[in-house]
Amino acid sequence: MSDVIEPFEPEYVRPAQAPCPNCVCCSADLCERGRESAKQCHGLTPDEHRETVHGCPCSAATTRGTYAYKKALVGVTRLATEMPLLPPVESLLRTLVDGEEVDVEAEGLALLKVRGLVDVLDDRVVLTSLGRRYLVARGEHRYRTPVEVLSVDMKARTVQAVVVGWHMKEPVTLLLDQVAAESKVPPVELVAGMFLEAEANCRTEDVEELVLTDIRVAPPLPAGWMNGGGPDA
């Protein structure tokens, strides 16, 4: 038997991961996973590298389409419909919509920043996408609608469902933890074919802006509702 030790090390070095094209802090794989996770990129990163990726825009609550953004939309919609800001504070948001400037030391601005409704860039107060969503939610109509569960992804913590009042067939992605908490149905018991009901902004044309609140187990539907498009079918 030969006593020669084969230099295997170079062959077993893990290849470098491709960098993300949309940020300077993460790999493409990390951002792909962070975008769909409640943990975001920093929550999926080992402790020694977490500070480097903290605040990555690819998974942030300010970036449309991310899990964190969907969660933030639910929060800001509840704020607008259940616990609206005091009029003087809300007027700051409306001032920004009208194109006027707001003093960075204005009273109430700190609260808006904490809630992610405004940001300060180069000593200038700007309205965030969540701030705009808050103002839209203050005036839009919300309707009680049946919601049919299509599937549940335990790993991604999401639910695919049909929100009947928005579209009879097109599925939408809901947050599993929200659905389970509000409906009081354990995730393992949320199965395809189950009907829930919720409040939703059914008139929105943008699926990313569709937000459900007050989700409950639905009472029995009228015969023929889903098959014929209405209770009298």
117 secondary structure, DSSP code: S
Report whether pLDDT(172) > 80: yes
Average pLDDT estimate for 154-160: 92
CATH 2.40.50.140 maps onto the chain at: 143-221
**What is the rounded CA–CA span in Å between residue 201 and residue 210?**
6
Query: Among 49-53, 110-114, 214-218, which is the least confidently predicted range?
Result: 49-53
Instruction: With a cut of 90, say whether residue 73 has pLDDT above it.
Output: yes
Confidence of residue 196 (pLDDT cuts 50, 70, 90): very high
Boundaries of CATH 1.10.10 in the chain? 80-139
pTM, two decimals, is 0.80
Give the closest residue to 131 by CA, choosing from 62, 29, 203, 220: 62
DSSP assignment of 30-48 equals: HHHHHHT-TTHHHHTS-HH
User: What's the fold here for domain 143-221?
Assistant: OB fold (Dihydrolipoamide Acetyltransferase, E2P) (2.40.50)
From CA 206, how far away is CA 185, in angstroms rounded?
28
Q: Which CATH class is domain 80-139?
A: mainly alpha
